[in-house]
Amino acid sequence: MKTIHTYAKHTEWLSAEEMHNSSKLWLSELSFYKEEQIFFEDLIKSNTLQLIDKNHFEDSKSIIDRLSVIVKQTQTLINAVKSHEKELSIMVDGINQLEEEAEYKKEHRNLIELISEFKKRYQSIKKELFNLIKTVIKESKQKRFLK
């Protein structure tokens, strides 16, 4: 997963509580995505015959391959956020550790960027998958009506 590092200064002003709340929100969203991905796998399995049809095979394969990558990235991000959350104590321990605190804030900025990019990719793949499944189901129904 590539990251684009921009140096946004807005997180410099975030308090430890705000960073903790962000981390909790990220974990909640990522956990939801993980559950949603199980649904997608079931949806794909239930429509496998239509998806491997010659008319849809290439699109199906592309979407499913990208979905597989996203599934792995979801778990990687969950692990990264959990690790980040555990390190929050650096910010609230009352000891002035300027370098460690600055590094924590930098990591938080990077996570903001990573998760934002991830969400965009995820929504795009999700939309493509639903459009493909919708098309496949419509075609299947039309074939039944023609028989």
Residue pLDDT tens, the chain, 147 long:
555 555 554 445 678 889 999 999 999 999 999 999 999 999 999 988 888 888 889 999 999 999 999 999 999 999 999 999 998 888 777 777 888 888 888 999 999 999 999 999 999 999 999 999 999 988 887 777 666
Task: Identify whether the C-beta of residue 16 lies closer than 8 Å to the C-beta of residue 129.
Answer: no
Burial (CB count within 10 angstroms: exposed 0-12, middle 13-18, buried 19+), residue 135: middle
Task: Identify whether the C-beta of residue 91 lies closer than 8 Å to the C-beta of residue 104.
Answer: yes
Residue 11: the pLDDT is 42
Task: Identify whether the C-beta of residue 23 lies closer than 8 Å to the C-beta of residue 88.
Answer: yes
**d(C-alpha 6, C-alpha 22), whole Å:** 19
Residue 52: the pLDDT is 87
Q: Where are the alpha helices (DSSP H) in the chain?
A: 16-46, 48-51, 57-86, 89-92, 98-146
Residue 23: the pLDDT is 94
CA dist list (Å): 82 to 26, 29, 109, 122: 10, 13, 15, 20
**d(C-alpha 79, C-alpha 85), whole Å:** 10
Which among 102, 76, 94, 108 has a CA at the least distance from the CA of 2?
76
State pTM to two decimals. Answer: 0.82
Residue 135: the pLDDT is 92
